[in-house]
Amino acid sequence: MPSLNLPPFDAKVKHAEGKALIFDIVRRRYVALTPEEWVRQHFVHFLIEHKGYPQALLANEVQIMLNNTAKRCDTVLYRRDLTARMIVEYKAPEVEITQAVFDQITRYNRVLRVDYLIVSNGINHYCCRMDYGENRYTFLPDIPLYTEL
């Protein structure tokens, strides 16, 4: 797997039936090791270990209904009252972060109405804070610490 612009972590990788699998600490099981999953696991560990996000408030592959179609948010951070606070969308490292990627995450946000949106391909990370009063978002210079949310 490629090197990412994220801190390394002790990835638990195994092979079964000819496939590489990586342990997802949020879902507590092994999942297929795809380039996007490689980014997700690095980013989740980064949030927990370096930004102080509580693992118990993170969920991966969260299903939502959008226009009568089931969609999946890559990672959702919840508040302690279990309302959604942040959506994180991952792309494989070779996938460029474009307006179409932001359009995808903003569509998901029509359902969840979170405070923060993050998009990462493991190389570039973009975080924005939603301002529903002004109907806009502001890009932040860095991924905030959990205590700064």
| Residue 5, domain member (yes or no) | no
pLDDT in tens, 52-89: 999 999 999 999 999 999 999 999 999 999 999 999 99
pLDDT in tens, 107-149: 999 999 999 999 999 999 999 999 999 988 999 999 999 999 9
| Residue 1, domain member (yes or no) | no
By DSSP bridging, strand 69-78 and strand 116-120 are unpaired
**Burial group, residue 3, by CB count within 10 angstroms (0-12, 13-18, 19+):** exposed
Residue 124: domain span: 13-148
CA distance to 7, 12, 100, 135, per residue, from 45 (Å): 8, 12, 26, 31
How many separate domains does the chain show? 1
| Residue 60, domain member (yes or no) | yes
**Burial group, residue 17, by CB count within 10 angstroms (0-12, 13-18, 19+):** exposed
pLDDT in tens, 13-22: 999 999 999 9
Euclidean distance between CA atoms 38 and 72, whole angstroms: 17
| Residue 120, domain member (yes or no) | yes
| Residue 4, domain member (yes or no) | no
* Residue 91, domain CATH: 3.90.1570.30
| Residue 6, domain member (yes or no) | no
Q: pLDDT at position 2, please?
A: 85
Q: Does 1 have pLDDT greater than 90?
A: no
* pTM score of the predicted model: 0.95
